[in-house]
Structure 1
Amino acid sequence: MMRKTRQFLGSIAAFCVAVFTPTHGVSAEQDAWPNRPVRVVIPYAPGNTGDITFRLIQNQLEAKFGVRFLIDNKSGASGNIGAEEVVRAAADGYTFLLGSTNNYVTNASLIKSMRFDPMKDLVPITMISNAPSVVVVNANLAVNTLAELTALAKKESGKLAFASPGNGTPPHLAAELYKQLAGVDLIHVPYRGSAPAVQGLLGGDTQIYMTALSSVAGNISAGKLKAIAVAGPHRLSVLPNVPTTAQQGVPEMITGNWWGLSAPLGTDSKIIQKLAEAIQTVLNDPAVKQKYFELGVTPVGSSPSEFAAQIAHEASIWKKVIARSGIQPE
């Protein structure tokens, strides 16, 4: 009788350990991820490059995982409102940030009142897309190469103006990097958004704009604007005759606006890796690649560690550029 009682109590103890051990439940939940809709916060208004490029892979991700991937646009404060919402969200694998270069790299050096550190409070998953800056000039400006632009800017020192969609935006920083590398003095004319900046360039109020191709592609095709350089490692397939900045003697001028996915600190590494690998697979689809190339955007699909290294590398570069230029956010 005593022996049977001990066996019974042992069975009960084993059952309790199996049922109530926390790691067992957590592991099962991780293996089952995702089992409900996933929210992807984009900290800008709809229609931006990140928004467009994620929608191009949204259906494939939903088909692969069998759940909805819901885009939630939360704009404001240079993207900090949406980014901070993700930082404060539960680290359960159901809220992610699709942020731009600003969110991960430059805002921390521009905005002194930030209430979080993107390099400490977010877990990088993968860089999804990269839109290298295209150096564009008014069609009436008598330059066709980067060297000719630099020569004219030195000749007309302090007279040529460049447009941007606002202080501290990627086009503003791209132009500041060019100024420092080329040793030229240009006037900065900030607008409230990309569309007004393009109109200012078309109207001749400014002469230069360094932006993603998607903002100016139509006007380049119409001959109203001239693309003279691509600030990326490779030429764009839709602009095959436009050389890179490196091909024109300025290899340090690699700039643009990329978009990457991250999660709140504490999100399980298995979920991070699972999502990163799924996105890499989707981005390798030839049809998806072609759609990206048509937008002047490069599909990336980096690993979590590669994305983290890229963030750290660029943060150090832009911190110096911002300090030298004395840029102040609006």
Structure 2
Amino acid sequence: MCAAAWGAAAHAAWPEMPIRVVVPYPAGAAGDLVIRKMQPALQTRLGQPLVVENKAGAGGNIGTLEVVRAKPDGYTLLLGATNNFVINQYLYKHLGFDPLQALAPIAKVVDAPSVLFINAAVPARTFREFADYAKANPGKLNYGSPGNGTTPHLSAFALSEAIGAQMTHVPYKGAQPGITGLLGGEVQLFLTGYGVAGAQLPSGRIRALAVASRQRLDVQPELPTTAQAGVPDVILSNWWGMAAPRGTDPAILKRLADAIHAVLKETAMQQYLSEQGFVAADDSPDAFATWLAGEAAQWQRIVEQSGATVD
């Protein structure tokens, strides 16, 4: 009885010290930029400093595992991407943990819907023209990605399957080398978030043909969705979400989710997200957990169809 009362009081007092957010990628990754933009407002709402730490390596597995092993007290959190929640467990044969079982979902933070960028030398001005050209020229087109098994790799594979085209995957060591390859014509296609390559559109060296989401992007409203372009089942996004170690008190999870959503609704944050091609999310920890199960099933299917593996 006394122990239960003490536990309730401890949770009610949370947070009493700085909160650490582990980003399992290098500084400058999309999610890293988003959480650092949110950092001041989150600190104000939570009443404690928010310390963002980049723990990169092994496709995000090193930082993710650090959070999995942390004490479930609400002071160590993960800001992970699609791979860390619903892809890597199917890519890595010896991962050693299942993110869906080892983590307590807090909230999806943002979506970064995938945009179909092509090199301007490809004779296509619309998505349909591109699909027809790709099907008529099997093996002629290459698609780039930041690496084997990354969301852009698997997304481009899923797109090629959906349109019935045979294209070759060219993995790079990171997104920016891949975009350089797209600009130079080493690859003809790169499927990634608008913020990764959108700034290159005015150069005329690349074109954007469609966005793989259910709604158009505010920053490029003229871009049709994949559904409008004829492939309604291709909804692909490299999203970012927050989680805690399994066993964290649900009241803490809810307070974190409420703070995240409140910050995402602030005018300055909305403007920043729109300019970068992000879409703010708004779901409860339970809703996020349910959604993750469906996402995992989709990406498991794509990983298995692609034959991608890392170890």
Quickly name the TM-score band, shorter chain normalised: over 0.9
- Counterpart position of 2:256: 275
Structure 1 runs (4+) greater than 3 angstroms displaced? none
- Counterpart position of 1:223: 204
Please give the alpha-carbon distance, in whole angstroms, between the structure 1 residues aligned to 2:299 and 2:255. Answer: 31
CA offset digits 1:34-56 (Å, max 9, x no partner): 01000000000000110111112
- Counterpart position of 1:130: 111
Return the index of the structure with the highest Cα Rg: 1
Match of 2:148 among 167, 170, 177: 167
The answer as to 2:239 corresponding to 1:258 is yes
Matched to 2:65, the amino acid is E
Please give the alpha-carbon distance, in whole angstroms, between the structure 2 residues aligned to 1:221 and 1:108. Answer: 39
Which range moved further: 41-50 or 144-153? 144-153
Which range moved further: 280-289 or 93-102? 280-289
Match of 1:91 among 56, 72, 85: 72
Match of 1:50 among 31, 36, 48: 31
Calculate the aligned-residue CA RMSD, in Å. Answer: 1.0
Match of 1:285 among 255, 266, 288: 266
- Counterpart position of 1:6: none
Map residues 1-330 of structure 1 onto 2, 5 A cutoff.
21-329=2-310
TM-superposed CA distance for 1:272, in Å, is 0.6
TM-superposed CA distance for 1:322, in Å, is 1.2
Q: Is the 8 A contact 2:111 2:278 kept in 1?
A: yes
Please give the alpha-carbon distance, in whole angstroms, between the structure 2 residues aligned to 1:34 and 1:242. Answer: 43
TM-superposed CA distance for 1:329, in Å, is 2.1
CA offset digits 1:174-216 (Å, max 9, x no partner): 1111111111100111111111101111111110000111110
Q: Is the 8 A contact 2:154 2:306 kept in 1?
A: no
Alignment gaps of 5+ in structure 2: none
TM-superposed CA distance for 1:144, in Å, is 1.5
Q: Is the 8 A contact 2:81 2:241 kept in 1?
A: yes
TM-superposed CA distance for 1:298, in Å, is 0.6
Q: Is the 8 A contact 2:90 2:300 kept in 1?
A: yes
SS in structure 1 at match of 2:79: strand
SS in structure 2 at match of 1:256: coil
Alignment gaps of 5+ in structure 1: 1-16
**Under a length normalisation based on structure 2, what TM-score does the superposition of the two structures give?**
0.98
Please give the alpha-carbon distance, in whole angstroms, between the structure 2 residues aligned to 1:211 and 1:159. Answer: 21
Please give the alpha-carbon distance, in whole angstroms, between the structure 1 residues aligned to 2:152 and 2:261. Answer: 28
Matched to 1:153, the amino acid is A
Please give the alpha-carbon distance, in whole angstroms, between the structure 1 residues aligned to 2:198 and 2:92. Answer: 31
TM-superposed CA distance for 1:140, in Å, is 1.8
TM-superposed CA distance for 1:91, in Å, is 0.5
TM-superposed CA distance for 1:62, in Å, is 0.6
Q: Is the 8 A contact 2:135 2:163 kept in 1?
A: no
Please give the alpha-carbon distance, in whole angstroms, between the structure 1 residues aligned to 2:289 and 2:218. Answer: 28
Q: Is the 8 A contact 2:120 2:206 kept in 1?
A: yes
SS in structure 2 at match of 1:257: coil
CA offset digits 1:113-168 (Å, max 9, x no partner): 01111010100000000000000000121111221111111111111110111001
TM-superposed CA distance for 1:221, in Å, is 2.6
Please give the alpha-carbon distance, in whole angstroms, between the structure 1 residues aligned to 2:237 and 2:202. Answer: 21
TM-superposed CA distance for 1:241, in Å, is 1.1
Please give the alpha-carbon distance, in whole angstroms, between the structure 2 residues aligned to 1:297 and 1:177. Answer: 21
TM-superposed CA distance for 1:279, in Å, is 1.0
SS in structure 2 at match of 1:216: helix
CA offset digits 1:228-279 (Å, max 9, x no partner): 0000111111111111101111111100100000000110011011111111
Please give the alpha-carbon distance, in whole angstroms, between the structure 2 residues aligned to 1:65 and 1:318. Answer: 34
**Under a length normalisation based on structure 1, what TM-score does the superposition of the two structures give?**
0.92
SS in structure 1 at match of 2:221: coil
Matched to 1:101, the amino acid is T
Structure 1 vs Structure 2: percent identity of aligned residues? 43
Please give the alpha-carbon distance, in whole angstroms, between the structure 2 residues aligned to 1:329 and 1:214. Answer: 27
Q: Is the 8 A contact 2:152 2:192 kept in 1?
A: yes
